[in-house]
């Protein structure tokens, strides 16, 4: 009688990095219930995650995006430095991620992004997809990363242009003038309004954006890619 040749599935070795011990413990239990997954270690912050990834050389690093001291993207940046690059495949775990963060993560070498509220089966599918050489973002596998990134970057830029934080067209013009370095008096003359009206607009703008100085306003406008107008 011929014996069947059963091959034991190859074990995927994993490190978990998250600053919440209860989440780490729960995730470890879920993963180790799978016969082909093994958790090698846990890290509570990004710096520890980088250290463990280099020491233990796991196949997969499940990396929380929002950790104190050393966030996920910083850890990912450390792991992607060519002089000391690690072969570990990184899957970012996040409660919520903006498209710009996903773009940056993938550009830094992440192989997947999984939302923390996803079903367990989705995370397991993401791990197997990444181990098979593809990418996983949100709820889908990605085979053509370049094309996917191009689409993500386009939609991210479109969203930034549409994001006005409740500012009126006139308030956006005032912000544009502040960024251009105009004083209240110059803004009043430019738009043919009184200085008191300019101050009133600025007060409303500060309240809406949660800033308290002109410098903070200018930095916010640039960082959030507000749709500024050219002030000659």
Judgement on whether residues 32 and 131 belong to the same structural domain of the protein: yes
Domain boundary among 119, 154, 189: 154
* Positions in the chain short of pLDDT 50: 1-2
Judgement on whether residues 127 and 211 belong to the same structural domain of the protein: no
| Contact (CB, 8 A) for 225 and 215 | no
Judgement on whether residues 133 and 47 belong to the same structural domain of the protein: yes
Distance in angstroms (rounded) separating the CA atoms of residues 56 and 41? 8
* CATH code, 56: 3.40.50.2300
Give the count of domains, the chain.
Answer: 2
Looking at residue 19, what DSSP letter applies?
S
> Does the residue 73 lie in any domain?
yes
- A 10 A CB-CB count for 112 gives 26
Domain boundary among 154, 182, 199: 154
Judgement on whether residues 115 and 192 belong to the same structural domain of the protein: no
Judgement on whether residues 60 and 103 belong to the same structural domain of the protein: yes
Residue 134, domain extent: 12-154
Judgement on whether residues 46 and 140 belong to the same structural domain of the protein: yes
Q: Establish how many alpha carbons lie within 13 A of residue 72's alpha carbon, considering only the half-sphere containing its beta carbon.
A: 29
In what order do the strands lie in the sheet containing 12-17?
37-43, 12-17, 60-64, 89-94, 112-115, 135-137, 140-142
Tell how strand 112-115 and strand 135-137 pair up.
Answer: parallel
- A 10 A CB-CB count for 144 gives 11
> Does the residue 230 lie in any domain?
no
Global pTM? 0.65
Domain boundary among 112, 132, 154: 154
Q: Is the dihedral of CA 172, 178, 179, 181 positive or negative?
A: positive
């Amino acid at each position: 009688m011929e014996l069947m040749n059963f091959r034991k599935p190859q074990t995927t070795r994993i490190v978990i990095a998250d600053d919440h011990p209860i989440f780490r413990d729960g995730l470890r239990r879920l993963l180790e219930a799978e016969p082909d997954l093994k958790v090698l270690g846990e890290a509570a912050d990004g710096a520890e995650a980088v250290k463990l990834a280099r020491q233990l050389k796991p196949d997969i690093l499940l990396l929380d995006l929002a950790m104190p001291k050393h966030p996920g993207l910083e850890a990912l940046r450390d792991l992607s430095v060519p002089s000391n690059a690690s072969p570990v495949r990184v899957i970012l775990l996040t409660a919520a991620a903006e498209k710009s963060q996903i773009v940056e993560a993938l550009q830094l070498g992440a192989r997947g992004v999984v939302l923390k509220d996803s079903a367990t089966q989705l995370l397991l599918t993401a791990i197997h997809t990444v181990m098979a050489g593809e990418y996983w973002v949100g709820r889908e596998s990605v085979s053509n990363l370049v094309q996917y990134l191009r689409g993500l970057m386009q939609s991210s830029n479109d969203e930034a242009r549409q994001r006005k934080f409740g500012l009126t067209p006139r308030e956006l013009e005032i912000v544009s003038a502040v960024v251009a370095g105009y004083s209240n008096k110059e803004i009043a003359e430019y738009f043919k309004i009184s200085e008191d009206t300019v101050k009133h607009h600025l007060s409303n703008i500060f309240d809406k954006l949660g800033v308290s100085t002109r410098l903070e306003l200018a930095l916010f406008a640039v960082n959030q890619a507000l749709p500024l107008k050219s002030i000659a």
